[in-house]
Amino acid sequence: MKILLVEDDAALAAEIDRALRAENFVLDRAATGEDARHLGETEGYDACILDLGLPRGDGVSVLNAWRAAGQTLPVLVLTARDGWSDKVAAFKAGADDYLVKPVRVEELVIRLRALVRRTQGHGASRIACGPLSFDPGLGAFERDGLPLRLTGLEWRVLSCLMLNRDSVVPRSYLIERVYDGDAEVDSNSVEVIVARLRKKIAPARIEGVRGHGYRLTADPA
């Protein structure tokens, strides 16, 4: 999952960054409303963590601009402002969730994953595909009811495919959500990860769609 973190407190942003990367998120960071607005309108993210008190454009203004431009990026507001009027203003501007600082990182992770699950059209708390099941809130995969051991990169690829099961996921989309933006990506690295996953998840299948990407399906047999 690729997240935009908008936070002007450098120490807090670094703390959240480390915690989310440890949970297999890929992050971009912005410290001003101006930068946040630009990234949200030009890059693809699964969700955004947005502070309200920002230099060069507060969070509510950023949200208003995104929604006015038709941007549907799911937004979780994370702020020290706990007043009712602040919450009303954020939700009216288009926020999807609201957390008040300080917050436990574990709750932030669960809220983010649940937000992504809901906005991608999955109402149930667990997603199934043949013998596979995925709990986005906990980030846990099972195969035939047993925990599935995955590397970080494997987890990122499989979670993208699971959240979009039965649909073709473009290779470029996977690369954006598997690797940090400054990482050098070998031309066949995604193929290597997919090959390892195919062995681990059978009889569920990852189909290659030539010139497009990959699709996760349950074995019809």
193-209 confidence digits (pLDDT tens) = 999 999 999 888 999 99
| 182 has pLDDT over 80 | no
Domain shared by 108 and 13, yes or no? yes
The pLDDT value given to residue 80: 93
Domain shared by 85 and 144, yes or no? no
Q: Can you spell out the DSSP letters for the chain? A: -EEEEE-S-HHHHHHHHHHHHHTT-EEEEE-SHHHHHHHHHHS--SEEEE-SS-SSS-HHHHHHHHHHTT----EEEEES---HHHHHHHHHHT-SEEEESS--HHHHHHHHHHHHHHHTT--SSSEEETTEEEETTTTEEEETTEEPP--HHHHHHHHHHHHTTTSPEEHHHHHHHHS-TTS---TTHHHHHHHHHHHHHTTSEEEEETTTEEEEE----
What Rg, from alpha-carbon coordinates, does the chain have? 18
Q: Residue 95 sits in a domain of what CATH number? A: 3.40.50.2300
Domain shared by 98 and 134, yes or no? no
| Highest mean pLDDT: which range of 49-53, 110-114, 203-207 | 49-53
| 120 has pLDDT over 70 | yes
Domain shared by 138 and 197, yes or no? yes
Among 94-108, 127-141, 150-164, the least confident range? 127-141
pLDDT, tens digit, for every residue of 52-82? 999 998 999 999 999 999 989 999 999 999 9
Domain shared by 103 and 181, yes or no? no
Among 27-31, 53-57, 138-142, the least confident range? 138-142
Q: What range defines the domain where residue 67 resides?
A: 2-119
Average pLDDT, the chain: 89
Q: Pick from 119, 139, 171: which residue ends a domain?
A: 119
Q: Residue 210 sits in a domain of what CATH number? A: 1.10.10.10
Q: What is the C-alpha separation between 123 and 22, in angstroms, rounded?
A: 26
Q: Checking DSSP bridges between strand 132-135 and strand 140-143, what pairing results, if any?
A: antiparallel
Q: Pick from 119, 144, 161: which residue ends a domain?
A: 119
Q: Pick from 98, 119, 140: which residue ends a domain?
A: 119
Domain shared by 185 and 202, yes or no? yes
**Bridge partners of 25?**
none
How many domains would you assign to the chain? 2
The pLDDT value given to residue 219: 72
Q: What is the C-alpha separation between 142 and 162, in angstroms, rounded?
A: 12
Domain shared by 163 and 64, yes or no? no
Token couple for 118:
């809901």
Domain shared by 165 and 104, yes or no? no
Domain shared by 15 and 73, yes or no? yes
Domain shared by 136 and 198, yes or no? yes
Domain shared by 107 and 11, yes or no? yes
| Highest mean pLDDT: which range of 88-92, 137-141, 199-203, 210-214 | 88-92
Q: What is the C-alpha separation between 210 and 195, in angstroms, rounded?
A: 15
Domain shared by 56 and 162, yes or no? no
